[in-house]
Amino acid sequence: MIEAGGLVKSYGDLQVLRGVDLRVERGEIACVVGPNGAGKTTLLRILALLEWPDRGVVTYDGVQATRDNAASLRARIAYVPQRGHVLSLSVRNNVLFALLARGIPAEEASLRADEALRAVGLYGLRDKHAPALSGGQKQLLALARAFALQPEYLLLDEPTASLDPENAGRARKLLREYVRARRAAAVVVSHSMSEVRELADKTIVLVNGRVVAAYAGAPDDAALSRLFA
């Protein structure tokens, strides 16, 4: 499972997280919602071990993350930022590069790359130069790369924000199926309540760097309206 306890993070005089607690079980998707500036992306980056809190701890399956063990823990994590980053390579080689960098044997990496590209609908563009893709296609490529890595933990920041409804639905279905089939744990930051309703096993509401509410499943619109009033 993923656990965070008492996370505090500041940038200069700006305190972004103010004692955030989080727990996500295996086989579970937790959605994090809140207004702009609530600290959602900072929380996700700390969970991904890309940033470190000023205070508080992050643990994966009971192992506390430190700078000494961060590399081994990151090998079990896939983090997808809001804007999918691509390398100046073909679409297929973008996925292959990530797999080979993780030490996956070449033959297995090739199979995984093709399977992931088919799953997100990019296999027909596998030889295209990735920087020439549209914004939505780059996001699909980032998702394909994440699924191909077969992580135990998925951390996704607005994963379908740039996708059309058909591809957004495809991506959410893939995420649900992956988490259930592999007993992975996922944290999804989202502004889309339709996405939260479709994905969330639990919802954490973050406002001004604090968890102000937590729900099993997705909260209704009236509950959120009261919180953000």
* Cα 178 to Cα 112: distance, rounded to the nearest angstrom: 14
Q: What is the 8-class DSSP label of residue 201? A: S
Looking at the structure, tell me whether residues 66 and 104 fall in a common domain: no
User: Measured between alpha carbons, how far is residue 4 from residues 61, 82, 150 in Å?
Assistant: 11, 22, 22
Three-state secondary structure call for residue 200: coil
Looking at the structure, tell me whether residues 71 and 175 fall in a common domain: yes
- Structural domain including 21 reads 1-76+153-229
pLDDT of residue 222: 74
Of 150, 170, 191, the residue at which a domain comes to its end is 150
Looking at the structure, tell me whether residues 211 and 106 fall in a common domain: no
Of 116, 134, 150, the residue at which a domain comes to its end is 150
Looking at the structure, tell me whether residues 214 and 183 fall in a common domain: yes
> If you count them, how many residues does the chain have?
229
Looking at the structure, tell me whether residues 130 and 108 fall in a common domain: yes
> What count of other Cβ atoms lies within 10 Å of the Cβ of residue 172?
20
- One-character DSSP codes across 54-69: SEEEEEETTEEP-TTT
Tens digit of each residue's pLDDT (9 = 90 or more) over 145-197: 999 999 999 999 999 999 999 999 999 999 999 999 999 999 999 998 899 99
CATH number at residue 18: 3.40.50.300
Tens digit of each residue's pLDDT (9 = 90 or more) over 38-94: 999 999 999 999 999 999 999 999 999 999 999 999 999 999 998 878 999 999 999
Looking at the structure, tell me whether residues 130 and 202 fall in a common domain: no
Strand partners, 8: 18, 55
Looking at the structure, tell me whether residues 225 and 175 fall in a common domain: yes
pLDDT of residue 161: 92
pLDDT of residue 13: 95
- Look-up: residue for tokens 């997705």? 218
Looking at the structure, tell me whether residues 43 and 139 fall in a common domain: no
- How many domains is the chain partitioned into structurally? 2
Q: In what order do the strands lie in the sheet with 210-216?
A: 77-80, 153-157, 185-189, 28-33, 202-207, 210-216
Looking at the structure, tell me whether residues 137 and 189 fall in a common domain: no
Looking at the structure, tell me whether residues 28 and 12 fall in a common domain: yes
Query: Alpha helices, DSSP H only, in 31-149?
Result: 40-47, 70-74, 91-101, 106-120, 135-148
* Cα 162 to Cα 101: distance, rounded to the nearest angstrom: 27
- From the list 164, 160, 156, 150, the residue with the least C-alpha distance to 76 is 150
pLDDT of residue 225: 67
Looking at the structure, tell me whether residues 44 and 62 fall in a common domain: yes
Residue 229 has pLDDT above 60, yes or no: no
Of 150, 167, 186, the residue at which a domain comes to its end is 150
Looking at the structure, tell me whether residues 1 and 109 fall in a common domain: no
For the chain, the first-to-last Cα distance in angstroms comes to 33
Q: What is the 8-class DSSP label of residue 90? A: B
Tens digit of each residue's pLDDT (9 = 90 or more) over 94-133: 999 999 999 999 999 999 999 999 999 999 999 999 999 9
